[in-house]
Amino acid sequence: MNQYDYVAIAGKFEAYLSSHQPYGSPDSLYEPIRYINELGGKRIRPALLLMAYNLWHEDITPALPAALAVEYFHNFSLMHDDIMDEAPLRRGKQTVHTRYGQNSAILSGDAMLIRCFDLLLEAGKQKDMGVELCSIMCKAALEICEGQQMDMDFEARSSPTEAEYLEMIRKKTACLLGASLQMGATLAGAGFQEAMGLYTFGEKIGMGFQVQDDYLDVFGDTSLTGKQKGGDILRGKKNFLYVHTCNTLSPPDQRDFIQTYLQASAEQDASQVLSIYEKNNVGPYTQKIQTSFVEKGLTELRELQHDGTLLLNNLAGSLMSRNY
Protein backbone atom coordinates (compact mmCIF):
# COMPACT_ATOMS: atom_id res chain seq x y z
CA MET A 1 0.00 0.00 0.00
CA ASN A 2 1.21 3.48 -0.88
CA GLN A 3 1.47 5.53 2.31
CA TYR A 4 1.79 9.28 2.48
CA ASP A 5 4.03 11.03 4.97
CA TYR A 6 2.96 14.13 6.87
CA VAL A 7 4.26 16.60 4.28
CA ALA A 8 2.45 14.87 1.42
CA ILE A 9 -0.76 14.50 3.44
CA ALA A 10 -0.69 18.14 4.57
CA GLY A 11 -0.15 19.22 0.96
CA LYS A 12 -3.14 17.22 -0.26
CA PHE A 13 -5.28 18.61 2.52
CA GLU A 14 -4.16 22.19 1.84
CA ALA A 15 -5.24 21.87 -1.78
CA TYR A 16 -8.60 20.43 -0.71
CA LEU A 17 -9.15 23.20 1.84
CA SER A 18 -8.32 25.87 -0.74
CA SER A 19 -10.75 24.43 -3.28
CA HIS A 20 -13.54 24.12 -0.69
CA GLN A 21 -13.51 27.59 0.84
CA PRO A 22 -17.09 28.59 1.75
CA TYR A 23 -19.16 31.13 -0.14
CA GLY A 24 -22.77 32.14 0.37
CA SER A 25 -25.09 34.96 1.20
CA PRO A 26 -24.45 37.12 3.09
CA ASP A 27 -20.76 36.93 2.24
CA SER A 28 -19.98 38.84 5.45
CA LEU A 29 -20.67 35.55 7.29
CA TYR A 30 -18.23 33.54 5.17
CA GLU A 31 -15.40 36.01 4.62
CA PRO A 32 -14.07 35.64 8.22
CA ILE A 33 -14.10 31.85 7.75
CA ARG A 34 -12.06 32.09 4.55
CA TYR A 35 -9.73 34.49 6.33
CA ILE A 36 -8.88 32.21 9.27
CA ASN A 37 -8.61 29.17 6.97
CA GLU A 38 -5.99 31.05 4.95
CA LEU A 39 -3.88 31.97 7.97
CA GLY A 40 -2.11 28.63 7.62
CA GLY A 41 -0.87 26.52 10.50
CA LYS A 42 0.60 23.05 10.78
CA ARG A 43 -2.67 21.28 9.83
CA ILE A 44 -1.73 18.57 12.34
CA ARG A 45 -5.27 17.46 13.16
CA PRO A 46 -6.54 16.86 9.60
CA ALA A 47 -3.19 15.31 8.69
CA LEU A 48 -3.47 12.85 11.59
CA LEU A 49 -7.00 11.89 10.53
CA LEU A 50 -5.84 11.26 6.97
CA MET A 51 -2.73 9.35 8.07
CA ALA A 52 -4.90 7.08 10.24
CA TYR A 53 -7.25 6.46 7.31
CA ASN A 54 -4.24 5.80 5.07
CA LEU A 55 -3.18 2.90 7.31
CA TRP A 56 -6.02 0.88 5.74
CA HIS A 57 -6.70 2.61 2.40
CA GLU A 58 -4.38 3.94 -0.26
CA ASP A 59 -6.87 6.48 -1.62
CA ILE A 60 -7.47 9.10 1.10
CA THR A 61 -10.01 11.09 -0.94
CA PRO A 62 -13.08 9.72 0.92
CA ALA A 63 -11.63 10.98 4.22
CA LEU A 64 -10.98 14.56 3.08
CA PRO A 65 -14.42 15.90 4.17
CA ALA A 66 -13.82 14.52 7.69
CA ALA A 67 -10.36 16.10 7.73
CA LEU A 68 -11.90 19.42 6.71
CA ALA A 69 -14.45 19.02 9.51
CA VAL A 70 -11.65 18.66 12.09
CA GLU A 71 -9.86 21.76 10.76
CA TYR A 72 -13.14 23.71 10.81
CA PHE A 73 -13.68 22.76 14.43
CA HIS A 74 -10.10 23.66 15.35
CA ASN A 75 -10.31 27.06 13.67
CA PHE A 76 -13.71 27.72 15.19
CA SER A 77 -12.24 27.11 18.63
CA LEU A 78 -9.32 29.45 17.86
CA MET A 79 -11.71 32.22 16.84
CA HIS A 80 -13.62 31.97 20.11
CA ASP A 81 -10.47 31.51 22.21
CA ASP A 82 -9.01 34.70 20.73
CA ILE A 83 -12.13 36.61 21.75
CA MET A 84 -11.94 35.28 25.33
CA ASP A 85 -8.20 36.01 25.50
CA GLU A 86 -8.62 39.42 23.83
CA ALA A 87 -5.74 38.37 21.56
CA PRO A 88 -4.81 40.89 18.85
CA LEU A 89 -2.74 38.52 16.67
CA ARG A 90 -3.00 34.96 15.40
CA ARG A 91 -0.06 33.55 13.42
CA GLY A 92 1.34 37.05 13.08
CA LYS A 93 -1.86 38.54 11.59
CA GLN A 94 -4.97 40.20 12.96
CA THR A 95 -7.33 37.90 14.81
CA VAL A 96 -10.78 37.54 13.29
CA HIS A 97 -12.54 39.59 15.96
CA THR A 98 -10.12 42.53 15.63
CA ARG A 99 -10.48 42.51 11.84
CA TYR A 100 -14.21 41.88 11.47
CA GLY A 101 -15.63 42.69 14.90
CA GLN A 102 -16.51 40.48 17.84
CA ASN A 103 -20.10 39.73 16.78
CA SER A 104 -19.02 38.61 13.32
CA ALA A 105 -16.30 36.41 14.81
CA ILE A 106 -18.78 34.71 17.14
CA LEU A 107 -21.34 34.12 14.39
CA SER A 108 -18.82 32.95 11.79
CA GLY A 109 -17.32 30.62 14.39
CA ASP A 110 -20.77 29.18 15.05
CA ALA A 111 -21.20 28.61 11.30
CA MET A 112 -17.89 26.71 11.23
CA LEU A 113 -19.03 24.50 14.10
CA ILE A 114 -22.28 23.68 12.29
CA ARG A 115 -20.42 22.98 9.05
CA CYS A 116 -18.05 20.66 10.95
CA PHE A 117 -20.86 18.23 11.78
CA ASP A 118 -22.36 18.55 8.30
CA LEU A 119 -19.00 17.50 6.84
CA LEU A 120 -18.76 14.53 9.19
CA LEU A 121 -22.19 13.34 8.10
CA GLU A 122 -21.10 13.74 4.49
CA ALA A 123 -17.88 11.78 5.09
CA GLY A 124 -19.68 8.93 6.82
CA LYS A 125 -22.64 8.71 4.46
CA GLN A 126 -21.38 5.91 2.19
CA LYS A 127 -20.41 3.62 5.07
CA ASP A 128 -23.27 4.69 7.34
CA MET A 129 -20.76 6.06 9.86
CA GLY A 130 -21.91 9.67 10.06
CA VAL A 131 -23.52 9.31 13.47
CA GLU A 132 -20.47 7.51 14.89
CA LEU A 133 -18.11 10.20 13.61
CA CYS A 134 -20.33 12.93 15.04
CA SER A 135 -20.43 11.10 18.38
CA ILE A 136 -16.61 11.03 18.56
CA MET A 137 -16.49 14.72 17.66
CA CYS A 138 -19.16 15.62 20.24
CA LYS A 139 -17.21 13.92 23.02
CA ALA A 140 -14.02 15.76 22.07
CA ALA A 141 -15.84 19.08 21.64
CA LEU A 142 -17.36 18.91 25.11
CA GLU A 143 -14.00 18.03 26.65
CA ILE A 144 -12.43 21.00 24.87
CA CYS A 145 -15.09 23.28 26.39
CA GLU A 146 -14.37 21.77 29.81
CA GLY A 147 -10.64 22.32 29.32
CA GLN A 148 -11.14 25.93 28.28
CA GLN A 149 -13.31 26.57 31.35
CA MET A 150 -10.68 24.96 33.58
CA ASP A 151 -8.06 27.24 32.02
CA MET A 152 -10.20 30.30 32.74
CA ASP A 153 -10.94 29.12 36.29
CA PHE A 154 -7.20 28.79 36.95
CA GLU A 155 -6.81 32.53 36.35
CA ALA A 156 -8.55 33.22 39.67
CA ARG A 157 -6.25 30.87 41.62
CA SER A 158 -2.64 31.31 42.67
CA SER A 159 -1.92 27.97 41.01
CA PRO A 160 -3.65 24.74 40.04
CA THR A 161 -1.92 21.51 41.00
CA GLU A 162 0.32 19.90 38.40
CA ALA A 163 -2.25 17.11 37.94
CA GLU A 164 -5.03 19.66 37.39
CA TYR A 165 -2.96 21.51 34.81
CA LEU A 166 -2.16 18.32 32.90
CA GLU A 167 -5.83 17.34 32.92
CA MET A 168 -6.69 20.78 31.55
CA ILE A 169 -4.31 20.47 28.59
CA ARG A 170 -5.48 16.89 28.00
CA LYS A 171 -8.99 18.20 27.52
CA LYS A 172 -8.24 21.53 25.86
CA THR A 173 -5.56 20.38 23.41
CA ALA A 174 -4.68 16.69 23.41
CA CYS A 175 -8.10 15.09 23.07
CA LEU A 176 -8.69 16.57 19.60
CA LEU A 177 -5.46 15.03 18.30
CA GLY A 178 -6.63 11.69 19.65
CA ALA A 179 -10.13 12.12 18.23
CA SER A 180 -8.71 13.01 14.81
CA LEU A 181 -6.83 9.70 14.66
CA GLN A 182 -9.81 7.79 16.04
CA MET A 183 -12.14 9.25 13.40
CA GLY A 184 -9.69 8.46 10.60
CA ALA A 185 -9.39 4.85 11.77
CA THR A 186 -13.14 4.48 12.32
CA LEU A 187 -13.92 5.82 8.85
CA ALA A 188 -11.37 3.38 7.41
CA GLY A 189 -13.22 0.46 9.01
CA ALA A 190 -10.69 -0.32 11.75
CA GLY A 191 -11.76 -2.25 14.82
CA PHE A 192 -12.66 -0.49 18.05
CA GLN A 193 -9.43 -1.46 19.82
CA GLU A 194 -7.30 -0.21 16.93
CA ALA A 195 -9.19 3.08 16.77
CA MET A 196 -8.88 3.58 20.54
CA GLY A 197 -5.20 2.68 20.44
CA LEU A 198 -4.67 5.45 17.92
CA TYR A 199 -6.75 7.79 20.08
CA THR A 200 -4.50 7.12 23.08
CA PHE A 201 -1.38 7.59 20.96
CA GLY A 202 -2.67 10.97 19.74
CA GLU A 203 -3.70 12.08 23.21
CA LYS A 204 -0.30 11.28 24.74
CA ILE A 205 1.55 12.96 21.88
CA GLY A 206 -0.76 15.96 22.29
CA MET A 207 0.14 16.19 25.96
CA GLY A 208 3.82 16.11 25.13
CA PHE A 209 3.28 18.67 22.36
CA GLN A 210 1.64 21.18 24.73
CA VAL A 211 4.21 20.71 27.51
CA GLN A 212 6.90 21.26 24.89
CA ASP A 213 5.17 24.47 23.78
CA ASP A 214 5.33 25.70 27.36
CA TYR A 215 9.03 24.82 27.48
CA LEU A 216 9.81 26.58 24.20
CA ASP A 217 8.04 29.72 25.38
CA VAL A 218 10.72 30.13 28.06
CA PHE A 219 13.77 28.24 26.80
CA GLY A 220 13.27 28.31 23.03
CA ASP A 221 15.46 30.25 20.61
CA THR A 222 13.47 33.37 19.71
CA SER A 223 15.04 33.43 16.24
CA LEU A 224 13.44 30.02 15.64
CA THR A 225 10.18 30.31 17.59
CA GLY A 226 9.43 33.79 16.26
CA LYS A 227 8.01 34.63 19.68
CA GLN A 228 9.16 36.87 22.48
CA LYS A 229 11.12 34.97 25.12
CA GLY A 230 8.91 34.36 28.14
CA GLY A 231 5.77 35.50 26.38
CA ASP A 232 3.55 33.54 28.77
CA ILE A 233 5.27 35.25 31.70
CA LEU A 234 4.71 38.70 30.22
CA ARG A 235 1.02 37.87 29.68
CA GLY A 236 0.71 36.49 33.22
CA LYS A 237 -0.29 33.08 31.83
CA LYS A 238 0.15 30.12 34.18
CA ASN A 239 1.79 27.47 32.02
CA PHE A 240 3.35 24.16 33.08
CA LEU A 241 6.62 25.74 34.21
CA TYR A 242 4.76 28.18 36.45
CA VAL A 243 2.56 25.45 37.91
CA HIS A 244 5.46 23.10 38.67
CA THR A 245 7.51 25.86 40.26
CA CYS A 246 4.64 27.14 42.37
CA ASN A 247 3.85 23.68 43.71
CA THR A 248 7.42 22.77 44.65
CA LEU A 249 8.41 25.93 46.55
CA SER A 250 7.99 26.38 50.30
CA PRO A 251 5.03 28.63 51.29
CA PRO A 252 7.20 31.75 51.83
CA ASP A 253 9.11 31.21 48.57
CA GLN A 254 5.85 30.46 46.79
CA ARG A 255 4.39 33.81 47.86
CA ASP A 256 7.53 35.59 46.67
CA PHE A 257 7.42 33.74 43.36
CA ILE A 258 3.76 34.64 42.74
CA GLN A 259 4.53 38.29 43.48
CA THR A 260 7.55 38.20 41.17
CA TYR A 261 5.41 36.66 38.42
CA LEU A 262 2.77 39.37 38.77
CA GLN A 263 5.46 42.03 38.76
CA ALA A 264 7.04 40.57 35.61
CA SER A 265 3.73 40.90 33.78
CA ALA A 266 3.14 44.43 35.04
CA GLU A 267 6.65 45.63 34.18
CA GLN A 268 6.99 43.50 31.01
CA ASP A 269 10.29 42.09 32.26
CA ALA A 270 10.60 38.30 32.54
CA SER A 271 14.24 38.15 33.66
CA GLN A 272 13.63 37.47 37.36
CA VAL A 273 11.17 34.66 36.67
CA LEU A 274 13.57 33.14 34.17
CA SER A 275 16.29 33.16 36.85
CA ILE A 276 13.98 31.33 39.27
CA TYR A 277 13.21 28.69 36.63
CA GLU A 278 16.90 28.13 35.94
CA LYS A 279 17.78 27.98 39.64
CA ASN A 280 15.10 25.34 40.23
CA ASN A 281 15.97 23.25 37.14
CA VAL A 282 12.48 23.64 35.77
CA GLY A 283 13.65 23.20 32.16
CA PRO A 284 15.05 19.66 32.55
CA TYR A 285 12.01 18.59 34.58
CA THR A 286 9.64 19.89 31.89
CA GLN A 287 11.55 18.01 29.21
CA LYS A 288 11.37 14.85 31.34
CA ILE A 289 7.57 15.12 31.55
CA GLN A 290 7.30 15.77 27.83
CA THR A 291 9.47 12.73 27.06
CA SER A 292 7.37 10.57 29.37
CA PHE A 293 4.17 11.40 27.47
CA VAL A 294 5.83 10.75 24.11
CA GLU A 295 7.16 7.37 25.25
CA LYS A 296 3.69 6.36 26.48
CA GLY A 297 2.20 7.35 23.14
CA LEU A 298 4.80 5.45 21.14
CA THR A 299 4.30 2.37 23.33
CA GLU A 300 0.59 2.49 22.49
CA LEU A 301 1.44 2.79 18.81
CA ARG A 302 3.76 -0.24 18.91
CA GLU A 303 1.06 -2.33 20.54
CA LEU A 304 -1.12 -1.86 17.47
CA GLN A 305 1.31 -4.10 15.57
CA HIS A 306 0.38 -2.45 12.28
CA ASP A 307 3.03 -2.32 9.53
CA GLY A 308 2.09 1.22 8.55
CA THR A 309 2.57 2.96 11.87
CA LEU A 310 6.21 3.86 11.17
CA LEU A 311 5.17 7.14 9.53
CA LEU A 312 3.13 8.10 12.61
CA ASN A 313 6.10 7.15 14.77
CA ASN A 314 8.36 9.38 12.67
CA LEU A 315 5.85 12.23 12.80
CA ALA A 316 5.71 12.03 16.59
CA GLY A 317 9.49 12.16 16.72
CA SER A 318 9.68 15.21 14.46
CA LEU A 319 7.00 17.06 16.41
CA MET A 320 8.72 16.42 19.72
CA SER A 321 12.19 17.32 18.50
CA ARG A 322 11.07 20.63 17.04
CA ASN A 323 12.60 23.85 18.36
CA TYR A 324 9.90 26.25 17.18
DSSP 134-188: HHHHHHHHHHHHHHHHHHHHHTTSS---HHHHHHHHIIIIIHHHHHHHHHHHHHH
DSSP state of 249: S
Q: pLDDT tens across 228-248, in order?
A: 678 889 989 899 999 999 999
| pLDDT tops 80 at residue 71 | yes
Q: Which amino acid is at 188?
A: A
Indicate the average pLDDT of the chain.
Answer: 93
Count the neighbouring beta carbons within 10 Å of the beta carbon of residue 238: 22
Binned at pLDDT 50, 70 and 90, residue 1 comes out as: low
Provide the pLDDT for residue 224: 61
- Global pTM value: 0.94
Tell the burial category of 163 from Cβ atoms under 10 Å away from its Cβ (0-12, 13-18, 19+): exposed
Nearest to 185 by CA among 38, 55, 60: 55
Q: Give the three-state DSSP class for 21.
A: coil
Q: Give the three-state DSSP class for 302.
A: helix
| CB distance 206 to 177 below 8 Å | yes
22: which residues sit within 8 A by CB, 6+ positions away? Answer: 30, 33, 34, 111, 115
| pLDDT tops 60 at residue 308 | yes
Q: Which amino acid is at 43?
A: R
Q: pLDDT tens across 29-41, in order?
A: 999 999 999 998 8
Q: Give the three-state DSSP class for 93.
A: strand
168: which residues sit within 8 A by CB, 6+ positions away? Answer: 147, 150, 151, 154, 160
| pLDDT tops 80 at residue 227 | no
CA distance linking residue 181 with residue 55, whole number of Å: 11
What is the pLDDT averaged over residues 115-142?
Answer: 96
| pLDDT tops 70 at residue 2 | yes
Nearest to 130 by CA among 180, 64, 66: 66
80: which residues sit within 8 A by CB, 6+ positions away? Answer: 105, 106, 109
Tell the burial category of 162 from Cβ atoms under 10 Å away from its Cβ (0-12, 13-18, 19+): middle
Count the neighbouring beta carbons within 10 Å of the beta carbon of residue 195: 21
Pick 6-213+292-320's CATH classification: 1.10.260.40, 1.10.600.10, 1.10.8.80, 3.30.565.10: 1.10.600.10
- What is the separation of C-alpha 149 from the centre of its chain, rounded to a whole number of angstroms? 16
In the Cβ-directed half-sphere of 292, how many Cα atoms lie within 13 Å? 8
CA distance linking residue 175 with residue 144, whole number of Å: 8
| CB distance 283 to 302 below 8 Å | no
| pLDDT tops 60 at residue 226 | no
Binned at pLDDT 50, 70 and 90, residue 222 comes out as: low
What is the pLDDT averaged over residues 190-219?
Answer: 94
Q: Which amino acid is at 88?
A: P
